[in-house]
Structure 1
Amino acid sequence: MNTTTLASTTRPSPAQVARLVLGLFKLRIGVLIMVTALVGLAVTPGVSPSLVQVAVLALAVLGASAAAGAFNQYYEAESDRLMARTRGRAFASGALPRSRAWLLLIGALLALSVGAAWQVLNGSAALYIFLGAFFYGVVYTVWLKRRSWTNIVIGGLSGSFAVLAGAAAVNPALGAQPLLLALVLFLWTPPHFWSLAIAGSADYAAAGVPMLPVVVGPQRAARVVFASTLALVAASLLPGAFGAGPLYMAGAAIGGGWFVYKSWRLARAPSRQTALGSFFASLLQLSLLLGAASIDGLIR
């Protein structure tokens, strides 16, 4: 077989390139963060923004999140190759060239997202969108991920800033509801991510990343997950004292109760199976909470 034929058989198809690029920008996470911004908008009283403003908010948050996710993969390409969960990523696998052109594209995407929010919404919303990307891309990825087990705790602020961006699009003077929802997002990230980290603790240890299960061991980390989940659920019920309706409270209680149960099982018997059970319970809890919060806010 000649080299031309070999190259043609190994060159990725357009569909494969598209999947690689979509994975590079972590769009599934970006969509979740975009939804939290829209929920922040829904729970904030004030003059309803226009459809154009809502669209700009959604796309700006998604774009900024995509830029931060792509930068994370660009910066972490070497360590991603050491982990089974991440070695297939575009830069880690070499499927996409890790050139400086990507940094220009990432920077342009972030600037466009923040600039659009500044022009169409307001400076406060634009600032929160920028801070969300900055905390994930720089504070978490560059400063803390390889230095401290608190990496995901502080890095989790990126989701909180999305809620605040949505609220600021309606009223830059933030009220109790969006601030409490931002607190919930901040408290949700550690038990959510630590559950996954317990399931993949060997990967993180091999890559030299000091995630909590690597630093203190899976058993102690599982107890921390359970305690963190209790704190999260308690915080998620606080909006009831500030005007949240029964629909929100039901969503927070049902999702929170299931997450507590699964994290309790993890604390009792740490294993990959119970860790993944806690991880998926965290996704269900957040989905129920955000869905109930948005419907409750729209009704009110």
Structure 2
Amino acid sequence: MGGVAVGARSEQDGPGEGPEEPTGKTRRWGRAGRSGKAQRPFWKELPLLIVVALVLALLIKSFLVQAFSIPSESMQNTLQPGDRVLVDKLTPWFGSKPERGEVVVFHDPGHWMKDEPTPEPNVVQKALSFIGLMPSANEKDLIKRVVGVAGDTVECKGTGPLKVNGKPLKEPYVFPGNTPCSTNLSQFKVTVPKDRLWVMGDHRQDSQDSRYHQDEDDKGFVPVDNVVGRAIVIAWPVDRWDTLSVPATFGQKGIGKAAATAPTAVAFAGAVPLVLVRRRLLSRRKSGGTKRN
């Protein structure tokens, strides 16, 4: 009587108006979302994902880490031929320089690899080297252990032991059966120049390292600028996975004597002017006190 029946039109409804039928857009709302646009198929987004992945891979290769393959026996038994190592390329961007004991990858500083043939890579190898999963065949890079840095004196008599700044090294990483120094290079003593490195392989009797290039223009030293980065881990094969840490012998007391003298000399040079200024002030005070008396 005085009420309104459920579903009946109110007086405000126009003639013929009733419950609104859902449109096609409204029916799709639950699947497409509030925007009303249908989600793009995955195959249409795949090319963009591939491009993004390649860009990220190139950035990582250029600035973060890069994979390198071990081609020879010169670093046995630390590294075996066929091992894949990851090289840290980031820290050099922040001014970090190679240190004693580190295993580093570096560009050929002269003609160390002049007799090594350049292999012709296939399409797959080119693609993998482009994104950093394999080294470029055109880049002649080497991998050795840093023994001496700028200012260090490295020497060896006979078959060893190898000495750095007068401290003999205990080298358990040297290939079993090898001596620390080769018999055909029975004696050498060098001082590493500024921004240079002295490097040696762990397979001492099968490594064409700094010792074998002393008669060349670079005298066997490797420019720091040639260093690609430090090898930090063996990534492949899986059963060879391991980190490449700095051996404890390079942390022995006194081995960094040559490098430690540099800050001391700088501090001394900076202290001299302060001492002279102090003496001058004291002299003025004494002369002023004498005049007042």
| Shared fold (TM-score, shorter chain, > 0.5) | no
State which structure, 1 or 2, has the greater radius of gyration over its C-alpha atoms: 2
Higher strand share: 2
TM tier, smaller: under 0.3
TM-score (norm 2): 0.20
TM-score (norm 1): 0.20
